[in-house]
Amino acid sequence: MIKGLFQGFWHALARLILRNRVIILLLITATTVFMGLQWKHMRFSNTEANVLPDDHPETVQYDEFVSLFGQEDNAVVLAVRDSMLFEPDNFNRWNKLSKQFLAVPEIDFVVAIDNLQELKKDQEKQEFVLEPLVTETPTTKKEVLAIKNHLFENMPFYDNLIFNSESGTVRTVLYLDKDILNTSVRSEFILNDLESLVLNFEKETGLDVRVSGMPYIKTWNSKIIIDEIGNFILAALVVTSLIFFFFFRSFRATFISMCVVIIGVMWAFGILGLFQYEITILTALIPPLIIVIGIPNCIFLINKYQQEVKKHGNQALSLQRVIAKVGNATLMTNVTTALGFATFILLDSDLLKEFGIVASINILCIFLLSLLIIPIIYSFMSIPKDKHLKHLRKKWIDRFVNWMEHVVRNHRIAVYITSISVLVLSIIGIYQIEITGSRIEDLPKDAKFFKDIRFFEEEFDGIMPVEVVVDTKRKNGILKPATLRRMNQLANEIDETPELSKPVSVVNLVKYSKQAFYNGIPKYYQLPTSQENTFIMDVARKSAENGNLLQSFVDSTGQIARMTTFMRDVKTTRMEEIEEDLITSISKIFPKERYNVYMTGKALLFLKGTKYLTKNLLLSLAFAIGLISLFMAYLFRSFRMILISLVPNLLPLVITAGLMGYLGVPIKPSTILVFSIAFGISVDDTIHFLAKYRQELTANKWQIKKSVYNALRETGVSMFYTSIVLFFGFSVFIISSFGGTKALGGLVSATLLFAMLANLILLPSLLLSLERSIANKQVLKKPQIDILPKGDEKAKRK
């Protein structure tokens, strides 16, 4: 009864669409205009992806740190490694540049040679005072070198902060106003004001300025994402339209299909604006994805229309059958694809939830647009002529189908041996896969800002902040000698780690205080001894009260301090080793009953986020397989058929994972996405084939061999067409400058190609080999829904 109602629904829907075609076109136009108006609400991401949930312990700790000391990733750094910098004109121009930045409202403060302060002891007041390093503008090289030598030789506090004593590199640190960090103002400043000031300096001096820092990297990252959206859309349109035209040899069919997917892209942007979601590196992929996924819908609908016209030449009947018959099958395949994306909604990550919501909604929207626009537009046109149907008689397609049938009929043993061999090799490859959380691995390697990241790693040991927070559990406990000694011991441990920079903390300030106490002699840059501690710390405390020297290092109560170091870009495994070693050192140095010490910072948040995302994406893949299996169980109502159908869809995933191992492509968030997306799309071919196979069984009185071969001939062409479109469509992502997006495009394309071969060769082979196990009415009972109604068979036999 349900089946009859469902068939009746599709016939009624076909009549409704064709009778109200003008009204439907007007509604589509109005909806498109409405979606276009939502574009103004689209926002490009100015923040990093929120991977960890708000209530995750690591997020809570980081929020506590930010509430005490503010965000630690607000620094933009500029550096020059060139001896010509110390020519008087260039040196003064460098100092002028720092003054120019200080005058910009987006900059909170600047630390540069120009305004560097030297800590000295005021003998009369018995307190430390800050005096400028540069008191007058130097006019000769001798004066410049005197400033340089004094800085490099007598001010170790600034070593690795403002200069590298070994290479002679000098840098300026710009601290952005923290209120603009996650706003478009930051991007405007970096892309316009900062770039302009730096370029002017380079033109006037001929020096090469390196620029980096987390705000700078995030801004250029976002800009490249925005720029690539247009490239992806254009490339997807060009590639899919050329392939479509090659298959159909019809400008009319190609134009109609392009109109459908362009409207789909407009709706995709509109939905992003309607939900006010930010455009991230993931949501930026949705518009081209809609083109790639939408074109196969058009292929199935137009191909069916032309086949019907060829059979009986009745345009009205052809259009009605397109909606009633192919619409049902296309709905089912689009639902499975949407389910593959919808599983991301179940994960506790805003980044993936938003991607899953918008992608799944848009996939259903592109199905609706295809089902409505194609029959309606064709209803206003003349019936296709014989030249438009020539592609249905292509000899090379016949040869391809005959080859598949020959392999399935005569070489099933070879198919199984090949499949098992590939499976074993793939499993070996899987054991070679690495998991990586490298923060900059996916960034464009040829971009200047990427090269500058490597420069700062070489010169200053990294740009990704790691914070160690020391809570003494008592007011003013930080300046206690025992606490300072423990912090110094931990600082030495950090300094001995090659991937970490020298840490900066109140310990450095206390050491500098002792140096200042002894008239700036560098060898006294060390912690006070127990005998010196009383009078040096008294002077330091007095100075702190007057000048608030400690505010960057210690909270207002003197109970909690921060130690800041910077990490090089390292793999996840090495990052975990560093974290584990530091935690071990912390537990040895700081007794838990007296101190509460923890590590935080954006570098560690990224590590935790990568592990969290990898775990959740594997869960997403399991959800996708489970949901789609349930959906297919509902369609075919046979457990054995579900197992058979999963084999040709899971094998390509295993092959792709094996290839990743052999090619050295690591598991990371961008590559884990491949499996859920590819599985949701590849299962469409299985549904088409099995639906046709079940229909042939009914028509041929349960003769399995005949049914398999008929199903292969009937569905092989469409499956081949759509798989080729999907292969080349996803391949457009290879043009991306982001490594993760490139990998996503290449791996999804490869997986879908493997899935096509598995569905056209392995699946029919399994059905034939297991015919005794499945050739009974209990296993192949009628489903609740007929994907391909009986009318197809009647028309075919006629």
State the pLDDT at residue 302: 84
**pLDDT at residue 430 tops 70:** yes
Mean pLDDT over 620-625 rounds to 76
Share of the chain above pLDDT 90, in %: 18
515-556: per-residue pLDDT in tens?
888 888 888 888 888 777 776 666 655 554 444 556 678 888
Round to whole Å and give the CA distance between 404 and 410. Answer: 10
Cα 643 off chain centre by: 32
344-356: per-residue pLDDT in tens?
887 777 778 888 8
At CA 157, angle to CA 153 and CA 163, rounded to 5? 65
Continuous segment of H or E residues that includes residue 658: helix 639-663
769-789: per-residue pLDDT in tens?
876 665 554 444 555 445 454
Round to whole Å and give the CA distance between 646 and 786. Answer: 20
State the pLDDT at residue 479: 82
State the pLDDT at residue 576: 83
737-755: per-residue pLDDT in tens?
877 788 888 888 888 888 8
21-51: per-residue pLDDT in tens?
899 999 999 999 999 999 888 777 655 655 6
As a dihedral over the C-alpha atoms of residue 215, residue 221, residue 223, residue 226, rounded to 10 degrees, the angle is -140
State the pLDDT at residue 369: 93
Strand, helix or coil for residue 379? helix
Mean pLDDT over 262-277 rounds to 91
Strand, helix or coil for residue 294? helix
Mean pLDDT over 298-313 rounds to 80
- Kindly report the number of other CB atoms within 10 A of residue 413's CB atom: 10
State the pLDDT at residue 90: 93
Of the listed ranges 213-217, 566-570, 680-684, the least confidently predicted one is 680-684
State the pLDDT at residue 535: 67
- Kindly report the number of other CB atoms within 10 A of residue 489's CB atom: 14
As a dihedral over the C-alpha atoms of residue 473, residue 476, residue 478, residue 479, rounded to 10 degrees, the angle is -150
Round to whole Å and give the CA distance between 504 and 160. Answer: 10
- Kindly report the number of other CB atoms within 10 A of residue 187's CB atom: 19
**Residue that the structure tokens 């987006």 belong to:** 106
**pLDDT at residue 559 tops 50:** yes
**Contact yes or no for 562/69 (Cβ under 8 A):** yes
State the pLDDT at residue 550: 60
User: SS3 sequence, 696-727?
Assistant: HHHHCCCCHHHHHHHHHHHHHHHHHHHHHHHH
At CA 534, angle to CA 528 and CA 540, rounded to 5? 75
Round to whole Å and give the CA distance between 215 and 610. Answer: 20
Q: Which two tokens stand for residue 766?
A: 């399994």
**Strands 210-212 and 170-176, bridge-based pairing:** unpaired
> What does the mean pLDDT of the chain come to?
82
Strand, helix or coil for residue 776? coil
Strand, helix or coil for residue 466? strand
| 587 pLDDT tier (thresholds 50, 70, 90) | very high
